[in-house]
Amino acid sequence: MLKNNEKIQLDLFAAAIRCETLKSIAAIGIGHIGGSLSIAELLAVLYQRVMDIDPHDPKKEDRDYFVCSKGHAGPAVYSTLALRGYFPLQELSTLNQLGTSLPSHCDMRKTVGIDMTTGSLGQGASAACGIALGNRLKWLDNYTFALFGDGELQEGQIWESMMFSAHHHLNHLICFVDKNNLQIDGTTDEICSLGDLKAKFQAFGIFVQEIDGHDTREIYLAILTAKQKNCPSVIILNTIKGRGVSIFENKPSNHNAEVSKEILELGLNEQAEIIKELECAANVCANG
Amino acid sequence: MYALMDEIRESTVDMRTVFCNVLLSLARENKDICLLDADLMGAMGTKPFLKEFPERTFDCGIQEANMFGVAAGLSVTGKIPFAHTFAVFASRRALDQIYLSCAYAGQNVKIIGSDCGIHAALNGGTHMAIDDMGIFRAVPEMTVIEPTDNAMLEALLPQVAAVYGCFYLRLVRRTTPDVYMPGSEFTIGKANILKEGEAATIIANGYCVSQALLAEKRLKAEGISVGVIDCFTLKPLDERAIIQAAQKTGNIITVENHNTKNGLGSAVAEVLCEHSPARLSRLGFIDRFGEVGKRDELAGAMGINADAIYSAVKKSLE
Ligand SMILES: Cc1ncc(C[n+]2csc(CCOP(=O)(O)OP(=O)(O)O)c2C)c(N)n1
């Protein structure tokens, strides 16, 4: 269990991820904002608390791996990596500029700290299986984490990989679904409904949990629970696409949207409010 | 160094047997070598690998897209995955995975596509890869190789395992004519100039190399001297060998067990146009699908056997 002040630190980290993501996308004016904002809490818990990683030794052999299969959420991952010290924060403003090391979709050859190249939806799932398998072959007991979008689950490759992961008992593979209910052309229910996701994953032999994806305490606990199981895990994160910036929240148009100076200011102000409240709460914790 | 067989005869050993044996010996030396398949281990004769290295063998089932993604992930952790399926499925069904998760991601995945072109024989048009070389040639950083016979496969496989990067190896499952003496050595990216000639140069790969040599013999008996080049590496292409042939004979005939569009004929045409224009005749599948039949019957029907090459050379000299 996380103590209150530990949870507050993670929430503050999530808010920082949102601020940096907004700023980096605003620097070029447009980007994949919705699906980046929805995963800030997950990234905070993974990179600040759960993952065995060393920003000074990003290729450490026995590190935990993170595969962002919804590769378009790169901006949120880059913000997380920069905040953790993989590279200077200033680099975030080069997002998607010609020659940048921070391209729209995650690219392991370009960005320090990115464990797998993604961008064609569905593919990260198989790569994550391969990484988990390869590490097990090396007798390592590290973990591989993977993140799928809910729209991404419409890809057949996801289900191939789930069948594979269960067959090979990849118990050090923990996958997340960013269930924000939106894809590009509408809600998943309008486009091609996912049905009973929990039952579907369970039927494939996966241990499934469904939680509030914006609650860092729940995320942390779910990961601890997943680690106790001897089969692969899926943690369904109920989230809001565009979370944390009111004009984006739950808007179908927020997938790849303009982030103007005005929107940036609005977003940063909204996050500043959240940060202020969290800091107050932190003081309360500290002063008993 | 390589040496040609005195006479071209059908091999007595399946290419898949050589593939499995050599891979086994490599795997004994290198614990990182893994084998993946998509329910075609029986077809590819790799069950002995499974038997000796069960922990390094992954028969993924009928899920080619996932298999190449898993192979990419294994490579991320330092493994050297060899992933096999029929060439049609490697090149068409899993292209996106091979392109992005393997090649673009800079991984070390060895893609083994079998039953290429007429070798698919009784499996017919649905299983006949005649576009695979062209597809993989278009993938940046991919090395594209069609071993000519068993001796060449035996020599190249250790190099493929040792050199980091994505390779496409186009293999035959059953037998193919033996062209080279056992123990021959080859350099990836360097074409073999098998015969020097004056009237024309035949540039071939795969099965068609044997046919080119047979045609050359007949033409020689008639006093027509033609060169033969085995262009077993389609990428990187040995441009120098092609340019030299063009300068020498000014008359090039390409022959491939593949669609002439995007395959060896196209690749040679590109070099000729850019560097040394010459007369060019291309033999291969002429923008048509494969079909069912026995290998050598198909070679005749598609116009890529010794007879067809002989006629094409004669025609080019008219
Ligand atoms: C194979 C593939 N098809 C289409 C796309 C284009 N695309 C990028 S993001 C996206 C929608 C993704 O929706 P979802 O997985 O729900 O992600 P989120 O809404 O969380 O951003 C699509 C269709 C792609 N990147 N890959």
DSSP string, A36-98: HHTTHHHHHHIIIII----TTSTT-TT--EEEESSGGGHHHHHHHHHHTTSS-GGGGGGTTST
Q: Is the CB of A179 under 6 A from ligand 1?
A: no
Complex prediction ipTM: 0.93
**Residue B67: per-residue pLDDT:** 98
Which chain A residue lies closest to B78 (C-alpha atoms)? A134
**Residue B284: per-residue pLDDT:** 98
SS3 content of chain B, % helix, strand, coil (to 5): 45, 25, 30
**Residue A229: per-residue pLDDT:** 98
**Domain residue spans of chain B:** 4-179, 192-316
Choose the closest CB to B72 out of A130, A156, A160: A130
What is the percent of chain B where pLDDT is above 90? 100
Are residues A123 and B70, on separate chains, in Cβ contact within 8 Å? no
Choose the closest CB to A117 out of B58, B71, B104: B104
Ligand 1 centroid – CA A164 distance (Å):
23
- Is residue B264 within 8 A of residue B284, CB to CB? The reply is yes
Q: Is the CB of A192 under 6 A from ligand 1?
A: no
- Dihedrals phi, psi of B53, to nearest 5 degrees: -125, 65
Residues B205-249 have pLDDT tens digits of 999 999 999 999 999 999 999 999 999 999 999 999 999 999 999
- Dihedrals phi, psi of B25, to nearest 5 degrees: -70, -35
What is the rounded distance in angstroms from the CA atom of residue B196 to the CA atom of residue B239? 17
- Is residue B309 within 8 A of residue B210, CB to CB? The reply is no
Strand-pair category, A173-179 with B251-259: unpaired
A128 and B CB contact within 8 Å: yes
Secondary structure class of B11 (helix, strand, coil): coil
Q: A-B interface: how many C-beta pairs under 8 angstroms? A: 110
Q: Is the CB of A152 under 6 A from ligand 1?
A: yes
Q: How far is B166 from chain A (nearest CA, A)?
A: 15
> A140-151 burial by CB neighbour count: b if 16+ within 10 A, else e?
bebbbbbbbbbb
What is the rounded distance in angstroms from the CA atom of residue B152 to the CA atom of residue B178? 9
- Is residue B111 within 8 A of residue B90, CB to CB? The reply is yes
Secondary structure class of A212 (helix, strand, coil): strand
Q: Whose CA is nearest to atom 23 of ligand 1?
A: A184
What is the rounded distance in angstroms from the CA atom of residue A184 to the CA atom of residue A189? 12
| DSSP code for A192 | H
Closest atom of ligand 1 to A178 CA is: 20
Q: Whose CA is nearest to atom 9 of ligand 1?
A: A72
Beta carbons within 10 angstroms of residue A157's beta carbon: 25
What is the rounded distance in angstroms from the CA atom of residue A228 to the CA atom of residue A13? 26
* A125 contacts in chain B (CB < 8 Å): 66, 69
What's the one-letter identity of residue A22? L
Ligand 1 centroid – CA A194 distance (Å):
15
Average pLDDT of chain B, as a whole number: 98
What is the rounded distance in angstroms from the CA atom of residue A18 to the CA atom of residue A39? 9
User: How many CA atoms within 13 Å lie on the side-chain side of B131?
Assistant: 15
Residues B188-206 have pLDDT tens digits of 999 999 999 999 999 999 9
| DSSP code for B116 | B
Q: How far is A205 from chain B (nearest CA, A)?
A: 16
As its CATH architecture, domain B192-316 has 3-Layer(aba) Sandwich (3.40)
Ligand 1 centroid – CA A153 distance (Å):
10
**Residue A288: per-residue pLDDT:** 67
Choose the closest CB to B65 out of A119, A134, A157: A157
Q: Please confirm, yes or no, whether B146 is among the known catalytic residues.
A: no
Are residues B61 and A164, on separate chains, in Cβ contact within 8 Å? yes
Give the pTM: 0.96
* A162 contacts in chain B (CB < 8 Å): none
Closest CA to B196 of B264, B245, B268: B245
Are residues A108 and B105, on separate chains, in Cβ contact within 8 Å? yes
What is the rounded distance in angstroms from the CA atom of residue B33 to the CA atom of residue B80? 5
| DSSP code for B91 | I
What is the rounded distance in angstroms from the CA atom of residue B56 to the CA atom of residue B77? 14
> B62-85 burial by CB neighbour count: b if 16+ within 10 A, else e?
ebbbbbbbbbbbbbbbebbbbbbb
- Is residue B37 within 8 A of residue B53, CB to CB? The reply is no
DSSP string, A112-136: TT--S---STTHHHHHHHHHHHHHH
- Dihedrals phi, psi of B127, to nearest 5 degrees: -110, 10
**Residue A133: per-residue pLDDT:** 98
Question: Fold match between B4-179 and B192-316?
Answer: yes
* Mean pLDDT computed over B259-272: 98
Choose the closest CB to A117 out of B34, B67, B100: B100
What is the rounded distance in angstroms from the CA atom of residue A82 to the CA atom of residue A91? 8
* B70 contacts in chain A (CB < 8 Å): 126-127, 129-130, 133, 161, 164
Which mutation among A183, A191, A236 tests ligand 1's pocket best, with the greatest number of atoms within 8 A of CB? Answer: A183
What is the percent of chain B where pLDDT is above 70? 100
Secondary structure class of B98 (helix, strand, coil): helix
**Residue A61: per-residue pLDDT:** 97
- Dihedrals phi, psi of B29, to nearest 5 degrees: -85, -30
**Residue A287: per-residue pLDDT:** 85
A163 and B CB contact within 8 Å: yes
Q: What's the burial of A198, exposed, middle or buried (CB within 10 Å: 0-12/13-18/19+)?
A: middle
Choose the closest CB to A138 out of B66, B77, B100: B77
- Is residue B16 within 8 A of residue B45, CB to CB? The reply is yes
User: How many CA atoms within 13 Å lie on the side-chain side of A110?
Assistant: 19
- Is residue A220 within 8 A of residue A214, CB to CB? The reply is no
Are residues B79 and A134, on separate chains, in Cβ contact within 8 Å? yes
What's the one-letter identity of residue A242? G
Q: Is the pLDDT of residue B157 over 90?
A: yes
Are residues B100 and A132, on separate chains, in Cβ contact within 8 Å? no
Secondary structure class of B179 (helix, strand, coil): strand
A177 and B CB contact within 8 Å: no
Q: Is the CB of A147 under 6 A from ligand 1?
A: no
- Of the candidates B7, B29, B55, B64, the residue annotated as catalytic is B64
Closest CA to B215 of B125, B310, B290: B310
Q: Is the pLDDT of residue B107 over 70?
A: yes
- Dihedrals phi, psi of B134, to nearest 5 degrees: -65, -40
Closest atom of ligand 1 to A72 CA is: 9
pLDDT 10s digit of each residue in chain A, 288 long? Answer: 899 999 999 999 999 999 999 999 999 999 999 999 999 999 999 999 999 999 999 999 999 999 999 999 999 999 999 999 999 999 999 999 999 999 999 999 999 999 999 999 999 999 999 999 999 999 999 999 999 999 999 999 999 999 999 999 999 999 999 999 999 999 999 999 999 999 999 999 999 999 999 999 999 999 999 999 999 999 999 999 999 999 999 999 999 999 999 999 999 999 999 999 999 999 998 886
What is the rounded distance in angstroms from the CA atom of residue A222 to the CA atom of residue A2? 12
Secondary structure class of B266 (helix, strand, coil): helix
Q: How far is B50 from chain A (nearest CA, A)?
A: 15
B4-179 belongs to which CATH class?
alpha beta
Are residues A137 and B68, on separate chains, in Cβ contact within 8 Å? no
Ligand 1 centroid – CA A151 distance (Å):
6
The order of strands in the sheet holding A233-238 is A65-68, A144-149, A173-179, A233-238, A207-212
Name which of A59, A117, A168, A170 to mutate to probe chain B: the one with the most chain B Cβ atoms within 10 A of its Cβ.
Answer: A117
